[in-house]
Amino acid sequence: MVKSIIYTVAAILACLGLFIGVEIYMNKQFDEFHGALEILYKKVEDKTANREDGYAVKSLWTDKKSKLHIFIPHNDISYIDYWLSEACGLIYCKEYDLALGKLEVLQEIIKNLPDAYTLKLENIF
């Protein structure tokens, strides 16, 4: 019985550690990506963004998403891929007004996605 109690407590502690770790990790990753998007957004607003700026954000996201796949359903991650690719394409074509719209959507997704997986009453039910 002592062994069972130890296993149970260990499982609870491991889960708690994982939950806290994942929460911190996800928030950090999305904050960093949000920061990079903000910079790109400002550059697009000033119409100074170029192809390299877009691809820098894309490569940052590619690096982050490979780890985020462990914690977030892959379909949610692919939405970011689609919108980011569209924004990069529009920046490449210098369609800044249209790119701004895409970046707005991306910022909204980035803001809401981690929230959808945090422990909140509305997410539980």
Partner 1 sequence: MALVFIRTAIIFITLLIIMRLMGKSQIGEMQPFEFVITLVIAELACIPMADSSIPLLYGIIAIVAIFVLHQIVWLLDLWFKPVKTAVCGKPSLVINKDGIDEYQLKSNNLDIGDLIESMRVAGYFSLDDVYYGMYEANGSFSALAKEEKSQSLSVLVVDVGKVDKKNLAMCGIEQSDLNEFLKKQNAELKDVLVMTVNGEGRVYFQKKGEKYKILEIGATNKW
Instruction: For residue 101, give both structure tokens.
Output: 């719209």
* Distance, CA of 11 to CA of 14 (rounded, Å): 5
Total binding residues toward partner 1, as defined by CB under 8 A: 25
Residue 73 engages partner 1 in binding (rule: CB under 8 A): yes
CB of residue 19 to partner 1, shortest distance in Å: 4
* Distance, CA of 15 to CA of 79 (rounded, Å): 28
Residue 67 engages partner 1 in binding (rule: CB under 8 A): no
Question: Which residue type, as a one-letter code, is found at position 50?
Answer: N
Q: Single out the residue of 122, 113, 119 nearest to residue 27, CA to CA.
A: 113
Pick the closer one to partner 1 by CB: 31 or 115. Answer: 115
Site string for partner 1, 24-63 (x = CB under 8 A): ----------------------------------------
